[in-house]
């Protein structure tokens, strides 16, 4: 069985649809089986349904959190301060308090969520970082290079492709 490079914070909720080269495609499914989530975010929202990093205090922040509409469990999908090469390796990005999160809405019936993750090459990561005692070879799954999050409203079927589309290295 292939061991997919699923970032650690998504283990258990990321269902792999496709994995080719360093590109991992999947959808978010709650542990309760539900695929419908309320979407909370911090970021600069554009009218066409894309978000980008937003200045916060003396840096930049972005956060996307999914809340299961069935069981209410919160799942952090992305935080610029923790995930991806820039956040995980370089500690770029600032954490925002939960009360800064806003809800993204279409028909108020939640969203189905797809994620595409361009992962870091395992061997390159091991060569470049394992010498520094701060990181271990297994950390490459959290140092991904690119993230796309697509949303679909289950009510009107409108899709928000590239709700997030961010290079992280
Ligand atoms: Zn749930
Ligand atoms: Zn809708």
Token couple for 39: 């979407």
Measured in Å, residue 34 CA sits from the centre of ligand 1 at 5
Give the distance (Å) from ligand 2 centre to CA of residue 112.
11
- C-alpha distances (whole Å) from 66 to each of 34, 60, 103 are 12, 21, 10
Answer for the pair 78, 7: CB distance below 8 angstroms, yes or no.
no
- The contacts of residue 98 (CB under 8 Å, 6+ apart) are none
Question: Which residues neighbour ligand 2 (ion) by CB within 5 Å?
Answer: 106-107, 153, 155-156, 158
Residue 108 CA to ligand 2 centre (angstroms): 7
153 C-alpha to center of ligand 2: Å?
5
User: Rounded CA gap, 139 and 147, in Å?
Assistant: 17
Give pLDDT tens digits along the chain (169 positions).
678 999 999 999 999 999 998 999 999 999 999 999 999 999 999 988 999 999 999 999 999 999 999 999 999 999 999 999 989 988 889 999 999 999 999 999 999 999 999 999 888 888 888 666 678 888 999 999 999 999 999 999 999 999 999 999 8
* DSSP secondary structure letters along 41-83: EESEEPTTS-EE-EEETTEEE-EEEEEETTT--EEEEEETTTS
């Amino acid at each position: 069985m292939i061991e997919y490079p699923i970032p650690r914070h998504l283990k258990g909720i990321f269902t792999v649809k496709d994995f080719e080269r360093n590109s991992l495609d999947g959808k978010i499914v709650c542990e309760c089986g539900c695929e419908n989530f309320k979407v909370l975010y911090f970021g600069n929202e554009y009218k066409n349904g894309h978000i980008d990093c937003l200045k916060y205090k003396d840096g930049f922040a972005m956060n996307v959190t999914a809340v299961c509409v069935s069981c209410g469990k919160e799942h952090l999908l992305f935080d610029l301060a923790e995930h991806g090469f820039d956040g995980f390796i370089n500690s770029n990005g600032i954490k925002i308090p939960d009360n800064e999160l806003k809800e993204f809405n279409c028909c108020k019936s939640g969203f189905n969520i797809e994620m595409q993750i361009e992962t870091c090459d395992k061997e390159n990561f091991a060569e470049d970082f394992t010498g520094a005692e701060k990181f271990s070879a297994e950390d490459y799954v959290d140092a991904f290079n690119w993230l796309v999050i697509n949303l679909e409203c289950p009510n009107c079927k409108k899709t928000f492709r590239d709700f997030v589309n961010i290079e992280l290295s």
